[in-house]
Structures are given as C-alpha cells and as structure tokens.
Amino acid sequence: MRIGVLTGGGDCPGLNAVIRAVVRVSTDRGHEIVAVRDGWKGLTEGLFAPLGRREVSGILPRGGTILGTTRTNPYKVDGGVEAVLRHFAEQRLDALVAVGGEDTLGVANSLHREHALPVVGVPKTIDNDLSGTDYTFGFDTAMTIAAEAIDRLHTTAESHNRVMVVEVMGRHTGWIAVMSGIAGGADVILIPEQPITVEEACADLVRRHEGGKDFSIVVVSEGYQLTYESGEQHLVAGAARGSDQFGHVVLGGVGDALARDIEERTGFETRVTVLGHVQRGGSPTPRDRVLATRFGLKAADLAHERRFGRMAALHGDTITDVSLEEATRELKTVPAHWYEVARAFFG
C-alpha cells in the first residue's frame, strides 16, 4: 500500500511520535509512506515528500511536527475538495492517516462519507475536547506545563501578597484549566462549561483572605465568558484578528479583563500571566509519547486492515477505535463531577 500521513490544525507535542510509529510499523509491513505537507493544504495544493525510517529517526521526543501543519479547510477553498481527490489519486495513495483535532478530523469524516476517501484518524489536541476518546495526546504535556507554571506563580504570589491570574488555553472547553488547576492547587478556576460569576469568584477570594491567606491563584480558561450577577456575559476574543477557515475566532485576553475586575472589586493587588503557546511547545511528556505511539500503531493497523472512517481512541487503558463520525459529532466538555473536584478547594 501507499499510505499518506498528514498533521492538521494547531500543533501539539506527540505528533512526531505518531508519525514515527506509523512509519516504523507500516514500512515493516512493506508499505510505502508519503508525507503530506502542511495538513489538508498538502492534499489541496499537492505538497508531498517521501517519508521513511531515515526521516523519522530521532523524532520521538521532538515537539511540533516534521510534516508541518495548517488550518486549511479544503471545503473553504475554491475547488479544494476536487483538488484533494485528484492529488490523492495522482499520488496513487491507498490510504491516508489524518492526525488532528475536531476540524482536521471533521474534514476527514466528510471526505470519507461523501467521497469514500480511505482515511483513518488519530486524535490530537492539547484541548482534550474530542469525543470518542478518553484522552487525546498533547493534553498531558499542556497540563503538565500549566501545573508547573502555577507552582512557580505560587511562590511569587506568596512573597508579594498578590492574586495571580493564570490564563490557559483550551478553546471552548476547560480541560487544561481544571486539570492543571487541581494539580496546582488553584483557589478559583473559571471554565466555559461552568460559568460561575466574577462576583462569586471574588467572594471566594475574599473568604480565603479573611481566613488568613494573603495570596491566591486563579486559573481561567481562554474560552470562559466573563459572567456577572446582572446576567451580562461576554467572550473575550480577538475579534479584530478575525477567524480561521473553520470559523474559530482567536481567543485570548480574558485573563487581563478578569484581573482588572478582581483588583477593582476586592482591592487585592492582582497580576496576570498568559501561558499561550508555551503550552503547545517543546518535548511531549513520557505519557504523551506512549499514548501517541500507541495511537500511531493503531492507525497503522486500521489502514493496513482497510478499516477506513475509523479513529484510534483510548478507552480506559485500552486502545480501540471509534467512527470519525462519532468522534467529531460534538465537543467533549468537562463534566460537572470533574469541576466539583476542583471546586472543593475554592476559596
């Protein structure tokens, strides 16, 4: 078989581990692997390169993706879908492994459903918001980086008697905020799924300070909508910076707005740290390397067995597969019971 591999959407630690696993096991089976450059852009514009054992040597611990990535959506490019199908045929590809999140795999699902494109998926995203799998690779690394940042902010918060607001990524779900916040002992955590009000958050901080503490850590997810008792609610997004081909606005900035609010309402000196793309950079944690490797092996099996339209998935401790349709139908949000774990330590 000739098997193409692409990585799409935001990059994420562990992508190279997936690529390595697909290449190693598939070439051992006698298949040929083709690198599709820059996500769906590569199939839309015809950007290919050979991909063999030599190219994947030494990449297991490396962050980013050796294939490059974009947020290109062929459905939003004039003649994009036809171009994808044409390039796929011209390259004599028998299968495609698409490594991505809801957008990249959403395109894979549509192309499979509408055009019988022989594609299998691997769930990637630091946001951990893909359905059908308990965890995506990349999330553990992002959560670890955020938890370490919270630990570091604790010591300086304590020295200065300050409130430290930490803004983390996660888009419209609060997985990174909740998990890193629990791990780092955050005093308040604000996420899109459970929009407690700014007034409630401030009351928690005041209660904590009245109880004898004179510093606090607040973790806020970039997609949390500032919510007030009056019912007013608004998302802080870089509207001026527009949206991508999947219609996503660029989030970011809620930490600043929240910090100003907290300082005004409580009188506590407040600072903000935006972790940003640091959460996506650098080497994957060992857990992510292992998960990405297992997903890569599963994707290689699915392609080899021609079980197209499926995605590698983690259920408990078992690697299995689900349909791309199921994985991309809706976002996997943080369930209330996880937020309750975090909430037990507020204030």
Task: Look at residues 18, 247, 48, 9 and name the one whose alpha carbon lies nearest to residue 120.
Answer: 18
Strands 310-315 and 318-323: antiparallel
Structure token digits, residue 40: 């769906």
**AA letter at 271:** R
The three-class DSSP label of residue 122 is strand
Catalytic residue among 11, 38, 103, 127: 127
Query: Quick check: 169 binds ligand F6P (CB under 6 A)?
Result: yes
Sites for ligand F6P among residues 199-228 (CB under 6 A):
222
Q: Under 8 Å CB-to-CB from 159, ≥6 apart: which residues?
A: none
- Name which of 35 and 146 has its Cβ closer to ligand F6P: 146
The residue at minimum Cβ distance from ligand F6P is 169
Compare residues 209 and 280 and give the one whose CB is closer to ligand F6P: 280
Residue 311 as a binder of ligand F6P (CB under 6 A): the answer is no
Q: What dihedral do alpha carbons 53, 55, 58, 63 form, nearest 10°? A: -130
Per the annotation, the verdict on 301 as an active-site residue is no
- d(CA 313, CA 320) in angstroms, rounded, equals 5
Cβ neighbours of 337 (radius 10 Å) = 7
Place of tokens 């495609």: 96
Instruction: Select from 37, 280, 294, 310 the one that contacts ligand F6P (CB under 6 A).
Output: 280
| Residue choice 171, 289, 294, 298 for contact with ligand F6P (CB under 6 A) | 171
Residue 166 interacting with ligand F6P (CB under 6 A): no
Interface pick for ligand F6P out of 38, 127, 261, 288 (rule CB under 6 A): 127
Count CB-CB contacts under 10 A for residue 172.
Answer: 19
170 binds ligand F6P (CB under 6 A): yes
Minimal distance in Å, beta carbon 250 to ligand F6P?
Answer: 6
Question: Toward ligand F6P, which CB reaches closer, 85 or 250?
Answer: 250
Chain position carrying tokens 């002992």: 185
Which span (56-64, 120-128, 228-236, 332-340) binds ligand F6P, by CB under 6 A? 120-128
Q: Does 80 bind ligand F6P (CB under 6 A)?
A: no
| Nearer to ligand F6P (CB atom), residue 11 or residue 187 | 11
Question: Per CB under 6 A, which region of 18-26, 39-47, 62-70, 169-177 contacts ligand F6P?
Answer: 169-177
Alpha-carbon gap, residue 167 to 156, rounded angstroms: 17
For position 23 contacting ligand F6P by CB under 6 A, the verdict is: no
By CB under 6 A, how many residues form the interface with ligand F6P?
Answer: 11
For residues 275 and 222, what is the distance between their CA atoms, to the nearest angstrom? 10
Neighbouring CB atoms inside 10 A of 242's CB total: 9
Rounded (5°) CA angle 110-41-111: 15
Is residue 251 within the footprint of ligand F6P (CB under 6 A)? yes
In the complex with ligand F6P, the residue whose CB is nearer, 192 or 309, is 192
Nearer to ligand F6P, 74 or 101 (CB): 101
* Residue 234 bridge partners (DSSP): 226
Residues that bind ligand F6P (CB under 6 A): 10, 101, 125-127, 169-171, 222, 251, 280
Q: Catalytic residue numbers? A: 127
